[in-house]
Amino acid sequence: MPWNKKTKFIVITGGVLSGLGKGIVTASIGKLFSPRLKVMPMKCDGYLNVDPGTMNPIEHGEVFVLEDGGEVDMDFGHYERIMGISCKFPWNLTTGKIFMRLVEKERNGNFLGKTVQMIPHATDEIKEAFYSVANEEGADMLLIEIGGTVGDIENMLFLEAARQMRIELGAENVLFAHLSYVPVLEAVDEQKTKPTQQSVDLLREKGIMPDVIIGRSRHILEEKTKQKIALFCNVPVQAVFSSPNLESVYELPLIFEKEGLRGLIERKLNIRHKADLKNWQALVSKMKKPAGETTIALCGKYTKLKDSYASIAEALSHAGAHLNARVNLKWIDSESLEKGNSNIENAFSGVRGLIVPGGFGTRGTEGKIKAIGYAREKNIPFLGLCFGLQLAVVEFARDVCNLKDANSTEVDAKTKNPIIDIMPEQKNISRKGATMRLGAYSAYLKEKSRVWEIYGKQKIVSERHRHRYEVNPDYHDLLERNGMLISGTSKDGMLAEFVEVPKNRFFVATQAHPEFKSSLERPAPLFFSFVDACIDKKQTKLQVSG
């Protein structure tokens, strides 16, 4: 598919080490130009997995789920939260996807007997993906983030494809931005540029000369640091920008705008645009200097890697910004509670609310159930997400409905009271990747219920899902007779999408993942209402569409 001669491309690369925040940098660049321009992000990941859906969060971080059901890298969460867009699965490009396409084409005889090689066939396939997204979406600007660091063998094909694209389309249509690490040695308290110089040298070896260099450092880059990077990396000093440690990642677009990054990009790519960041500035100011604060506990088993729950933490901060309150997270290791290594009262000390997030497997399950029971009995606001809903139902069935052996068949396949069971359509599925109930599904809400109020009295709402198990419909009546309201269901009434305990101040759980749709300018309604309950304020209504 040829280039449509409309789209401008910005390729973002990284150097020195991973984890510098390329996703946040990419999204922040996009924020400077959207929504007045149609800006689309793409992420290139070098791993051979088709998607990250089967990866352990401890190894890779959170798996982000899109409206169309795509399981993608967590950087897509940054894109959606900062740019305020809804991404699509084809925008995440992995080496696994590219190789699968090439093998399928070769088996079908598409290459007419030629020897299929990394260059040009793999790189052509990558460029084809870039042009296809740009054309199909009618993008004014396509941001291409190349995962990993320059020098990694995994991303060489993506770098080579980007190099070729610059030659084919011209420098006025393709811009390279390189994010690099600028450490500060405590002994001399000086920003060191040598790692950046060396990473740019590696990039030059690949045939790519960056137009923009962004220095990731503890503080804003000093003028002498910028001058040194400019001198040794062959760019004007006006093309060197800062990505400092920030209290909130949402400040970065404001930093870029202040330092003139938007203007430089406009000149390089011959575009004209006027940014409007007034509302963004106001929200960021509230996040930095809120009027109040609250502490919320998150009880999970992946607490050693906070990125496993990145979207939940961000959704809480979005709600806090609109409620003018800082949300402090207290991490509770569910395994520690389960094994008795942590005292439940100590774990909840200073806590005003509890979240039990999604997850898989048996490890730490009883610890989560213990925490849910404590919150319900002490009338502490509770929000359950996905597996959190399922365990809330298990706890309620055991303690209130007197089904002492109630469990999920995921945890105990032989339980006599399988109050949580695998969905019928999932029973004969053997493959793990992309086979769950994924993406956006509608829920039908009961009038006068808490969630009906939270979602602005809408009858039908849509949230994203990622699960195989559901509340067993055989137990719906028993739960409701004992005081748990199934306040949202699938259209046929078989799947419980929302449950709540009306007599509690706030006890709501959903089978969905509303955190995936939350953004700074439009917080998720469920998180907004939950945080509102945790700061003891009069319920503030937030009108949103489902």
To the nearest 10°, the Cα dihedral for 533, 535, 541, 545? -80
The answer to whether the bond into 120 is cis (omega within 30° of 0) is yes
Q: Tell me what pLDDT residue 427 has.
A: 60
Asked if residues 429 and 405 have their Cβ atoms less than 8 Å apart, the reply is: no
Residue 207 to residue 19: CA distance in whole angstroms: 24
Does residue 351 contact residue 345 with C-beta atoms inside 8 Å? no
Known catalytic membership, residue 513 = yes
The model's pLDDT over 126-177, given as tens digits with 9 standing for 90+, comes to: 999 999 999 999 999 999 999 999 999 999 999 999 999 999 999 999 999 9
Do 1 and 54 meet the contact criterion of CB atoms below 8 Å apart?
Answer: no
Tell me: pLDDT of 303 over 60: no
CA neighbor of 513 nearest in space, from 389, 401, 430 = 389
Q: Is residue 431 scored above 60 in pLDDT?
A: no
Alpha carbon of residue 367 to chain centroid: 26
Maximum pairwise Cα distance, the chain:
74
N residues, the chain = 546
**Per residue in 332-388, pLDDT tens?**
988 888 777 678 888 899 999 999 998 777 778 999 999 999 999 999 999 999 999
> Which residue pairs, CB below 8 angstroms and at least 24 apart, start in 67-73?
67/439, 67/440, 67/464, 68/439, 68/440, 69/434, 69/438, 69/439, 69/440, 70/438, 70/439, 71/434, 71/438, 71/466, 72/43, 73/23, 73/43, 73/45, 73/147
Selection from 411, 408, 415, 414 nearest residue 389 by Cα: 408
Please give the pLDDT value at position 306. 62
The per-residue pLDDT for 536 is 65
Residue 386: active-site member: yes
Residue 189's pLDDT band, with cuts at 50, 70 and 90, is confident
Cross-sheet strand order for the sheet of 417-422: 406-408, 417-422, 469-471
State the average pLDDT over residues 203-207: 95
Name beta bridge partners: 41. 143
Q: Exactly one of 314, 463, 470, 515 is catalytic; name it.
A: 515
Residue 22 per-residue DSSP state? H
Q: Which of 316, 268, 309 is nearest to 29 (CA)?
A: 268
Nearest to residue 81, comparing CAs of 265, 315, 329, 366? 315
CA angle (342, 343, 349) in 5-degree steps: 110
Q: What angle do CA 212, 217, 219 make, to 5 degrees?
A: 110
pTM for this one?
Answer: 0.90
pLDDT higher than 50, residue 541: no
Would you call 534 a catalytic residue per the annotation? no
Mean pLDDT of 307-328: 92
Note the pLDDT of residue 430: 56
> CA 542 to CA 523: how far, in whole Å?
9
With 60 as the cut, is the pLDDT of residue 542 above it? no
pLDDT at position 1 over 70: no
Mean pLDDT value of segment 306-310: 77
539 falls in which pLDDT band (50, 70, 90)?
Answer: very low
**Burial class of residue 428 (count of CB atoms within 10 Å of its CB; 0-12, 13-18, 19+):** exposed
Find out whether 179 and 21 touch, Cβ atoms under 8 Å.
yes
**Bridge partners (DSSP) listed for residue 185:** 190
Q: Helices (DSSP H) in 213-364: which residue ranges?
A: 223-233, 252-259, 261-269, 278-288, 310-322, 334-338, 344-347
Distances (CA, A) of 161 to 40, 130, 213: 18, 10, 20
Rounded to a whole number of angstroms, the distance between the first and last alpha carbons of the chain is: 36
Which uninterrupted H or E stretch holds 191?
A: strand 190-191
35 prior amide bond cis, ω within 30: yes
Convert 480-509 into a string of H (helix), E (strand) and C (coil): HHCCCEEEEECCCCCCEEEEECCCCCCEEE
- 321 CB-contact burial (10 Å; exposed 0-12 / middle 13-18 / buried 19+): buried
Tokens of 4: 């449509």
- Strand runs (DSSP E) across 119-163, as ranges? 141-146
Tell me the pLDDT tens digit for each residue of 276-294.
Answer: 899 999 999 988 888 889 9
| Separation of alpha carbons 173 and 170, rounded Å | 6
- pLDDT band at residue 40 under the 50/70/90 scheme: very high
Mind listing the domains of the chain with CATH numbers? 8-281 (3.40.50.300), 291-423+434-534 (3.40.50.880)
What pLDDT sits at residue 3? 64
Q: What share of the chain is helix, strand, coil (3-state, %, to 5)?
A: 40, 20, 35
Taking residue 238's Cβ as centre, other Cβ atoms within 10 Å add up to: 15
- Distance, CA of 74 to CA of 200 (rounded, Å): 26
| Partner residues linked to 445 by β-bridges | 488
Quote the tokens at residue 450. Answer: 């808490």
Rounded-to-integer distance, Cα 182 and Cα 192, Å: 6
Q: pLDDT value at position 483?
A: 96
Mean pLDDT, the chain, as a whole number?
Answer: 90
Strand partners, 383: 355, 508
Q: Which of 386, 410, 470, 476 is catalytic?
A: 386
Q: Please classify residue 138 by burial: count the beta carbons closer than 10 Å to its beta carbon, then call 0-12 exposed, 13-18 middle and 19+ buried.
A: exposed
CB count within 10 Å of CB 109 equals 8
Cα atoms found within 13 Å of the Cα of residue 544, Cβ hemisphere only = 25
